[in-house]
Amino acid sequence: MQKKIYTGQPVVTLNNGVDIPALGFGVWQIDDLKVCEDAVIKAIQTGYRMIDTASIYLNETAVGNAIKNSGINRDELFITSKLWVQDHGYEKAQAAFQRTLDRLQLDYLDMYLIHWPYGDFLGAWKALEDLYHEGKIKAIGVCNFTVEKLEELKENSTVLPVINQIELHPIFQQKELQVYDRENNIITQPWSPLGNGNAELLNNESLKAIADKYNKTVAQVILRWHLQEGSVIIPKSVTPSRIEENFSVFDFELTEDEMNATRSLDTGKRLFFDPKDAEWEQKMLKSVADI
């Protein structure tokens, strides 16, 4: 397998041998397509080489335009998208994947993820396995999967997920799930790595002291903590200065005491949706978006 080279940043090697940049750019909640396109172009100009989108974000077209207009060769980028719940099942997943490729104006994806573990996700996974074997996807993974769902997937599949993308930040660290991922050679990828700008987190006094020591922001300290934990992260911003700030985390290193101080902030309480919540599951199964 020919390795991609991502200049100036560390990579993490997935369980199938594919390298992924350790720091990428997420576009969740960027609804305005022009704003999204401009933000992705700015991110690529800054040095980001991994872009994470999803069909349900309704901005794949903007991401595709940004890729085309960025001035960077496609082969130098790592592009991820995700399959929404309404498209679970083998045939639906195949069709949805092609729609995603068309919107992104690409002929392959670097990574494709199942967004939530509901409905016929096993049929969808079979479709992803076939697309992976055909070379249309370089790596396949999941989002929001619990240990139980990962076990169910493992028992009914031939390809192990490379990544499990989950809510993870200093306030909610999902340590048991991280251990399971690690033991099964699955990379944990935090979504909302900064806790969606949670004020309590970003104003934490111990994190402020660490940030002052390195002449960094609290957000940069948190992102650095994620990287040193071995995670692959996808912070989001539409502000050019923040996009640059979030990428400027490779020039310092936290001590083990500082890592432990950040680990100690875990409350075990989610800020977002619980995959085990039956009401949330039913809501997702009934959701239909124009994608």
pLDDT at res. 288: 84
Question: What per-residue confidence (pLDDT) applies to 2?
Answer: 55
Domain residues for 124?
17-286
Inside any domain, residue 33: yes
Indicate which residue of 6, 48, 57, 112 is catalytic: 57
Residue 43: which CATH number?
Answer: 3.20.20.100
User: Given this model, what pLDDT does residue 5 score?
Assistant: 67
The closest alpha carbon to 116, from 156, 94, 147, 88, belongs to 88
pLDDT, position 24: 97
> Residues comprising the binding site for substrate?
115
2 domain-assigned: no
Asked if residue 40 is part of any domain, the answer here is yes
Look at residue 212 and tell me if it is in a domain: yes
Assigned domain for 54 exists: yes
Residue 9 lies in a domain: no
pLDDT at residue 3, as a whole number = 66
What are the backbone angles phi and psi of residue 157, rounded to the nearest 5°? Answer: -145, 170
Say how many C-beta atoms besides its own lie within 10 A of residue 179's C-beta. Answer: 12
- Point out the annotated binding site: 115
Q: What does each of the 291 residues of the chain score in pLDDT, given as a tens digit?
A: 556 767 678 999 999 999 999 999 999 999 999 999 999 999 999 999 999 999 999 999 999 999 999 999 999 999 999 999 999 999 999 999 999 999 999 999 999 999 999 999 999 999 999 999 999 999 999 999 999 999 999 999 999 999 999 999 999 999 999 999 999 999 999 999 999 888 889 999 999 999 999 999 999 999 999 999 999 999 999 999 999 999 999 999 999 999 999 999 999 999 999 999 999 999 999 988 888
Within a domain: residue 1?
A: no
Count how many domains the chain has.
1
6 in catalytic set: no
3 belongs to a structural domain: no
- pLDDT for position 213: 98
Long-range contacts of 173-182 (CB under 8 A, 24+ apart): 173/263, 173/266, 175/266, 176/147, 177/146, 177/147, 180/147, 180/150, 181/150, 182/230
CA neighbours closer than 13 Å in the CB half-sphere of residue 32: 6
